[in-house]
Amino acid sequence: MCGIVGGVGKLDLRTYLLSGLKKLEYRGYDSAGICYTESGKTILSKVAGRVASLEEIVPENIHPTVGIAHTRWATHGQPNAQNAHPHQSQRKIFSIVHNGVIENFRPLAHQLKARGYSFNSETDTEVIADMLERFYLRSGSVIESIAQTMEALEGSYACAIMFKDEPERLYFMKKASPLLIGMSDGCMLLASDPVPMVDYTDRFIDVDDGDYGYLTPTQVKIFNGRVEIEPRFVHRNVDSFRSDLGDYPHYMIKEIEEIPGVVVRLIDNYFDGEHFTFNESMIETLRHTKKIHFLACGTSYYASKMGAKYFRPLGKEVLVSIASEWAYDPYDITGDTVFVLVSQSGETADLIRCQKIINDRDGISIAVTNTKGSTIERKATYSCLLYAGLEVAVASTKSYVAQVCFLALLFAALENEIGVVLDIDRVVDSIRNIISRKGEIEALAEDCKEVRDAFFVGRGYDYLASMEGALKLKEVSYVHAEAYPGGELKHGPIALIEPGTLVVGLVSDPEVSSSIRNNFEELRARKGRLVIFSTAAVANENDAFVANDVKPYLAPNVLVVAMQYFAYYVALAKGLPIDKPRNLAKSVTVE
Ligand code: G6P
């Protein structure tokens, strides 16, 4: 994972690099570092921990001509200052930041050791710096050394590279990990995504796989293989990459409370009041395909599970796979299948790997993503945006609801079921009602803040929602939480119920309400502590929280919002870093 930034030219580089890193912390935040050239001297600073700690040790009055910086999610070696980027080559002539994983770094390190190199860190990145140096000492050309290093590397990388003797040049190379170039007045910028650059420019180049080159304050040179490529800047609407906390204490609660607006915007984008406005060719492709296969990770996977359930009445085979599993067992690639790749970020490495497999075999894919210009969005046959706005908190909230509502709308378009739009309108009202009653959920969470384990239990749609509820609780509150279908409890998990074990029960579907209520009684009989979230039509008087009714197939969207608040308030009561939970990152850009 990790986020990288770099810049060269006339700008306040300290501000750009440090504020840029903060905006990239969603990609990892266990250590950070910066390297810059000032008056011909290369200066390197690194810390364990957050960018805020790095900021404290970088002098205020510096005026670098070129600089690079990094926020890390450790893949190789502990999250300490030594392993933090930037890394330098043995003779300190190259300084680099890297996002990705070098798969063959052990054999390369072995070769370098045989040539007298030793290493200061446990990372795979240091090997890249030393390879550059080794090839440079042979060829005397930085560009040639980058080309040769790329030929030797296996794995993924987006790198920004400084060369000691060129204080006005910033080199880069890219394969599989994302990298963008931005152009501003008298300066060129680099970053893992547009967010650090939006206050400086709206003109970007998406660096392609295999590209490498360099930036000067006014010029971009790009090569691929040994061929020079014409740089093409494109304008992007950068407003969608901005997000301020406003009066909110955390992005997570802000983003939960944006959900009604997100759903309304989604409807506006895909329904004109009379007709659905999806791409016609995509709809026809879906109508004629025999199979629909969803691929996703994390929250997007749970949203896909819900979407798949909506699609089953189409009479097609509908499958859902975790991207990281399917990528290593890519069955079902025939002309009869449309793959639907669901991803908030559009940059999740496992899903990108799936997409490559699909594209290599001329398969058809639909990207459902929140991020315009992301890899998944650009590489799919068809792409559909969620219009949820920038999601900053690591735990995904508004994107889940947007994904599920999107899939309901897509199903409705396939079946010409305009009534679905009205059903989703009621979801908006019901979620607004939950937002107005969040204090009730805060009180429940306060009571549960000491728990170490929790079971989330539901049936049918409610089971699918309980999976997402359990994921939210473990992500932000560090409570061990597992979801089970009510009927499965007796096949093992009930052995873990002790007096006081927290069971969060979900019930909204009338078809299964009596059977799930029986399951709740079985848990109560073993002295489990039940906190039940229900909807009005199936509520009992002892339920902890009762949401307004919506159609059962959409009720999980409402109950999930209550679960999101529950996880948020448990984490708040425990004093945890809600927006950036330990060990996690928002965009998982390594497999
Ligand atoms: C990470 C994030 C999750 C997200 C998952 C999939 O694990 O922390 O919030 O659900 O990645 O990300 P995607 O961007 O592909 O939806």
Q: Is the CB of 471 under 6 A from ligand 1?
A: no
In the reported structure, the alpha carbon of residue 521 is separated from the centroid of ligand 1 by a whole-number distance in angstroms of 35
Non-local CB neighbours of 79 within 8 Å, separated by 6+ positions? 30, 31, 48, 72
Q: Is the peptide bond before 194 cis (omega within 30 degrees of 0)?
A: no
Minimum-distance ligand 1 atom for the alpha carbon of 585: 8
Report yes or no: 254 and 218 within 8 Å, Cβ to Cβ: no
Rounded average pLDDT over 90-112: 95
Would you state the pLDDT for residue 229? 95
Residue 126: CB atoms within 10 Å: 28
- Gap between the Cα atoms of 318 and 180, Å rounded: 36
For residue 123, which of 159, 147, 150 has the smallest C-alpha distance? Answer: 159
List the strands of the sheet with 234-235, edge to edge. Answer: 41-48, 31-38, 66-72, 3-9, 187-191, 180-184, 203-206, 234-235
Pick the CATH number of 245-436 from 3.40.50.2000, 3.40.718.10, 3.40.50.10490, 3.40.50.10420: 3.40.50.10490
Domain boundaries, the chain: 3-241, 245-436, 438-583
Q: Is the CB of 371 under 6 A from ligand 1?
A: no
The verdict on domain 3-241 having CATH code 3.40.1190.20 is no
% residues pLDDT > 90 (the chain): 87
Q: Which residue, judged by its Cα, is nearest atom 5 of ligand 1?
A: 298
In the reported structure, the alpha carbon of residue 481 is separated from the centroid of ligand 1 by a whole-number distance in angstroms of 18
pLDDT, tens only, 272-296: 999 999 999 999 999 999 999 999 9
Dump the DSSP string for 11-58. S-HHHHHHHHHHHHGGG--SEEEEEEEETTEEEEEEEES-HHHHHHHS
Q: Is the CB of 369 under 6 A from ligand 1?
A: no
Q: Is the CB of 348 under 6 A from ligand 1?
A: yes
**Best of 26, 29, 297, 353 for a ligand 1 pocket test (most atoms within 8 Å of beta carbon):** 297
Non-local CB neighbours of 174 within 8 Å, separated by 6+ positions? 157, 158, 159, 207, 208, 209, 210, 211, 212
pLDDT value at 567 more than 90: yes
Q: Is the CB of 188 under 6 A from ligand 1?
A: no
pLDDT, tens only, 401-421: 999 999 999 999 999 999 999
pTM of the model: 0.83
pLDDT value at 590 more than 80: no
Non-local CB neighbours of 479 within 8 Å, separated by 6+ positions? 451, 452, 453, 454, 473, 570
pLDDT value at 591 more than 80: no
pLDDT, tens only, 263-274: 999 999 999 999
For residue 471, which of 341, 303, 331, 355 has the smallest C-alpha distance? Answer: 303
Q: Is the CB of 300 under 6 A from ligand 1?
A: yes
Residue 38: CB atoms within 10 Å: 17
pLDDT, tens only, 468-524: 999 999 999 999 999 999 999 999 999 999 999 999 999 999 999 999 999 999 999
CATH of domain 438-583: 3.40.50.10490
Minimum-distance ligand 1 atom for the alpha carbon of 300: 16
- Gap between the Cα atoms of 450 and 572, Å rounded: 12
pLDDT value at 76 more than 80: no
Residues that are catalytic:
2, 586
Q: Is the CB of 396 under 6 A from ligand 1?
A: yes
Report yes or no: 557 and 564 within 8 Å, Cβ to Cβ: no
**Is 3-241's fold the same as 245-436's?**
no
Report yes or no: 24 and 192 within 8 Å, Cβ to Cβ: yes
Q: Residue 340: enclosing H or E segment and its boundaries?
A: strand 337-343
Minimum-distance ligand 1 atom for the alpha carbon of 371: 14
**Nearest-5° Cα angle at 410, 407 to 415:** 130
For residue 98, which of 67, 144, 129 has the smallest C-alpha distance? Answer: 129
- Ramachandran area for residue 403 (φ above 0: left; ψ -120 to 50: alpha; else beta): alpha
**Best of 396, 468, 472 for a ligand 1 pocket test (most atoms within 8 Å of beta carbon):** 396
Non-local CB neighbours of 39 within 8 Å, separated by 6+ positions? none
List the strands of the sheet with 211-215, edge to edge. Answer: 87-88, 94-102, 155-163, 170-175, 211-215, 220-224, 227-229
Would you state the pLDDT for residue 237? 82
List the strands of the sheet with 453-458, edge to edge. Answer: 480-485, 453-458, 502-507, 529-535, 545-547
